[in-house]
Amino acid sequence: MNFSNASLLQLAIVTPLGAALVIALGLPKRFATKLAAAAFALPALIALWLWSQFPAEGAQNYQFLSSLDTGLASFGISLKLGLNGIALPMFHLAAIVGLAAGLYALRSSAERLKTYLVLLLVMHGGLLGVFASVDIFFFYFFHELALIPTFIMVGIWGGRDRNYAAMKMTIYLTVGAMLSLIGLIAIYVKSDASTFDLIELKRAIAVQGIGAATQNNIFGVLMFGFGILVSLWPLHTWAPLGYGAAPSSAAMLHAGVLKKFGLYGLIQIAVPLLPEGAAHWAWKLALLASLGNVLVIGFVTMAQRDLKQMLGYSSVMHMGYCFLGIAALSTIGTGGVVLLMVAHGLSVALLFLLATSIHHRTHTFDMSEMGGLAQKTPVLAAFFVAGTMASIGLPGFANFWGELTVFVALWNFSPWITAVAVAGVVISAIYGLRSAAWVFFGQPTEALQRVTAAHPPADLDWYERLPALILLAALLFFGFYPKAISQPVDQALTSTVARTAPVSFQR
Partner 1 sequence: MTMLQHAILLLILPLVSAAVIALFLRKRGALASYVSTITAGLIAAISIILLLHGERNFPNASWEWLRFGDFTISLGIKFDDLAALMLFIVGFVGFLIHVFSLGYMHDDAARARFFGGLSIFMFSMLGIVLADNLFMIFIFWELVGFSSWLLINHYHHKQSAADASKKAFIVNRVGDFGFLFGIIMCYWLNGTVSFSELADKAEHGQLVFSTLIPLLLFCGAVGKSAQMPLQVWLPDAMEGPTPVSALIHAATMVAAGIFMLCRINVLMVPAALNVIMWVGTITALYAALCAITQRDIKKVLAYSTLSQLGYMVAAFGLGSTATYELIDLPTNVVAAGVGAAMFHLTTHAFFKALMFLGSGSVIHGCHHEQDIFKMGGLMKKMPVTFWTFTIGVLAIIGMPFLAGFFSKDAILYLAMEKNSAVFAILALTAVLTSFYMVRLWKITFLGEARSDDAKHAHESGLVMTLPLIILAVLSVVGGYSGVFGKLAGSIAELVPEAHGSNHTIILLVSLAVMTIGAGSAWFFYKASANDTLEEKSPSLFRLLGWLKESFDRLYNYYVAKVQQRFAMLLNFLERVFLADTIIGGLGRMVGLVGLGARALYTGSLHTYVYWFLLGAVVLWAFAAGIF
> Within positions 201 to 240, which residues make up the interface with partner 1, using CB under 8 A?
216-217, 220-221, 224, 228, 234-235, 237
Q: Is 40 in the site for partner 1 (CB under 8 A)?
A: no
Q: Is 482 in the site for partner 1 (CB under 8 A)?
A: yes
Distance, CA of 387 to CA of 116 (rounded, Å)? 26
Give just the sign of the alpha carbon dihedral 249, 251, 252, 254: positive
Q: Is 466 in the site for partner 1 (CB under 8 A)?
A: no
Phi and psi at 66, nearest 5°, equal: -150, 155
Among positions 2-31, residues that touch partner 1 (CB under 8 A) are: none
Burial classification of residue 469, based on how many CB atoms lie within 10 Å of its CB (0-12 exposed, 13-18 middle, 19 or more buried): middle
Q: Which is nearer to partner 1, 32 or 417 (CB)?
A: 417
Among positions 345-374, residues that touch partner 1 (CB under 8 A) are: 372, 374
Site stretch for partner 1 (CB under 8 A), options 48-56, 121-129, 252-260, 439-447: 439-447
Q: Is 411 in the site for partner 1 (CB under 8 A)?
A: yes
Peptide bond into 234 cis (omega under 30): yes
Among positions 296-315, residues that touch partner 1 (CB under 8 A) are: 296-297, 299-300, 302-304
Distance, CA of 501 to CA of 274 (rounded, Å)? 8
Nearest distance from residue 156's CB to partner 1, in Å?
17
Nearest distance from residue 241's CB to partner 1, in Å?
8
Q: Which is nearer to partner 1, 45 or 419 (CB)?
A: 419
Helix residue ranges, H only, 328-393? 331-362, 373-376, 378-391
Site stretch for partner 1 (CB under 8 A), options 75-83, 145-153, 358-366, 488-496: 488-496
Among 201, 489, 496, 501, binds partner 1 (CB under 8 A): 489
Q: Is 425 in the site for partner 1 (CB under 8 A)?
A: yes
Q: What end-to-end distance do the CA atoms of the chain give, in Å?
A: 32
Number of residues that bind partner 1 (CB under 8 A): 76
Q: Which is nearer to partner 1, 139 or 440 (CB)?
A: 440
Distance, CA of 34 to CA of 48 (rounded, Å)? 21
Q: How many CB atoms lie within 10 A of CB 129?
A: 26
Nearest distance from residue 445's CB to partner 1, in Å?
11
Distance, CA of 85 to CA of 443 (rounded, Å)? 48
Q: How many CB atoms lie within 10 A of CB 299?
A: 14
Q: Is 426 in the site for partner 1 (CB under 8 A)?
A: yes
Distance, CA of 276 to CA of 219 (rounded, Å)? 9
Among 199, 433, 447, 466, binds partner 1 (CB under 8 A): 433
Q: Which is nearer to partner 1, 248 or 418 (CB)?
A: 418
| Secondary structure class of 366 (helix, strand, coil) | strand
Q: Is 388 in the site for partner 1 (CB under 8 A)?
A: no
Nearest distance from residue 437's CB to partner 1, in Å?
5
Q: Are 17 and 23 a contacting pair, CB within 8 Å?
A: no
